[in-house]
Structure 1
Amino acid sequence: MKLYIKNMVCNRCKMAVKTELEKLHLQPVSIELGEVELERELTPGEKEELEAGLNELGFELIDDKKSRLIENIKKQIIQLVHQQDGELKVNLSDYLSGLLHHDYNYMSNLFSEVEGSTIEKYFIHQKIERVKELLVYDELSLSEIAFRLNYSSVAHLSNQFKKVTGFTPSHFKNIRAGKRKPLDMV
C-alpha cells in the first residue's frame, strides 16, 4: 500500500515519518520523499492515528490524485536540484513531463492554481537554496557553483540570487561567515 505525504521534502522528514510509523508498529517497505510504501493496508483506526501523528509533525496524508501530482512535481525538482545538482539534459518542462507522464501545461496550471506560484519559480527557489548551502560550505567558487547548477553564467546566478534573497552571493556568504564560530571559540 502506498501513502502520499505532503511536506515530506528531506532526509530528516523521512526519519520523522519512519519514527511515527514505528510508533504505530507499522513497518515501511520503503520511504521516499513524499511517499511511503507499507506491506499492508491500514485499518481506519491506524490511518486516523497516523494522520494525527503526521499532522503534529507538520505533514499531511494526501488522498487525491491532483495533490499527489503536485507533491511528485516538488519531489522531482528537489531531487534534481539537491541530489543531481540541477543537471538537466533537456528543459524542465520536458524533464517533468517525461518523468511524470503528464502534459506540462496541465501540470503547470494545476501547480499554479494550488500553490499560488509557478513550477519555474519553485525550481528557481530550490536552486537558490542549493546555492546558499554551497556558499556556506565554502568549498566551491561562485563559478564552480554556477557551472554545477547549470547556470549560463556567474552573472545569471548572481542576478537570480539577488532577486530571490535581496543579497548578492558574496554579501550572503560574508553575513553567514560572521555568524559562524570556530569550534575552539564555542
Structure 2
Amino acid sequence: MFVNTENIMSIAMSRNNEAGARLVGVARSTEAASINLIDAVDGTVDALVGLAGVMNGFNRMIASICEEVATAECIEGRYIDANDEAVDALGHAASSLKDQLTSLVRKRASIDKDGRLKGHHCESLHDAYEQAIEAVAELAESCMQMRAAIIRHDLAAEPRSGEAFATAEALIESLRNA
C-alpha cells in the first residue's frame, strides 16, 4: 500500500491552518473587545472630567453672584426676586443636581463589579467619578446658598410698620387685624 505523505502533510497543514485561523480570529476579537473597552473607559473618563469642569464653572459663577446678593444693600420694598421665580428655579436645580449625584454615586459603585476592568481602568474611573461627584455636590450646595441669600435679602427688604411687639401673641393679633 502506497501512502502519499505529501497528501497527509497537506491535510495536516490544512487542519493546522484552520486551527491557527480560529486562534487568530479569537485573538483579534479579544483585541477588538479590549480596544472597545479602553475606548469606553476613556470616553467615560473624558465625559466625567468635562462634566466636572462645567459644574465647577457654574459653581464659580453662582458663588460670585451669591456674594453680590449677600452684600447688596437692602432697600425696603426692593426685592431681588419678588415672585420667587429665581428661588424656585434654584431649588429645582439643586434637586436635579442631587438626583444626578445619586446616579453618579451608583455608577461609581458598579465599577468594581465589572470583571472586564483592570486595576488602572478602575482607578481612572474612580478618580473621574470623584471629580464629577465633588463638582456636582458643590454646585448643588451653591444653588441652595444662593437661594438662601435671595430669601434673606428679600425678607430684609419687606416693608416694616416700625411697630414693635412685646409678645408673639401681639404680633399674631396685629396680623389678624390687618
More strand by share: 1
TM value normalised by structure 2: 0.24
More helix by share: 2
